[in-house]
Amino acid sequence: MTAQTTDNVKKPRLRAPKLVINEDELTHIEALAEGAYQRNPVLADRLLDELGRARIVKADKMPANVVSIGSSVVYRDETTGQEKTVTLVYPENADISRDQVSLMTPIGVSLLGLAEGAAFYWDTRDDQRRMLTVISVKQPEVTPTRAPAQDAPGAV
User: Is residue 112 pLDDT above 50, yes or no?
Assistant: yes
Indicate the average pLDDT of the chain: 84
Q: Report the pLDDT value the prediction gives residue 122, as an integer from 0 to 100.
A: 75
Tell me whether residue 51 is in a domain. Answer: yes
Best CA proximity match to 91, nearest among 73, 76, 109: 109
At 45-77, the pLDDT tens digits run 999 999 999 999 999 999 999 999 999 999 999
Is 30 a residue whose pLDDT tops 80? yes
128 — phi, psi (to 5°)?
-100, 135
Work out the pLDDT band at 15, boundaries 50, 70, 90.
low
Of residues 12, 2, 138, 121, the one with CA closest to residue 68: 138
Question: Which of 28-42, 120-134, 137-151 ranks highest by mean pLDDT?
Answer: 28-42
Rounded distance between C-alpha atoms, residue 152 and residue 148, angstroms: 8
5 belongs to a structural domain? no
| Inside any domain, residue 34 | yes
Instruction: For the beta carbon of residue 68, count every other beta carbon within 10 angstroms.
Output: 25
Torsions phi, psi for 20 (to 5 deg): -130, 130
Q: Is residue 128 part of a domain?
A: yes
Q: Does the predicted TM-score (pTM) go above 0.85?
A: no
Residue 86 lies in a domain: yes
For position 96, which CATH number holds?
3.10.50.30
In the chain, helix, strand, coil percent, each to 5? 25, 25, 50
In a domain, 63, yes or no: yes
Q: 70 is in which domain, residue-wise?
A: 20-138
pLDDT for position 120? 86
Does 148 map to a domain? no
Q: How many folded domains does the chain comprise?
A: 1
In a domain, 154, yes or no: no
pLDDT, residue 127, reads 80
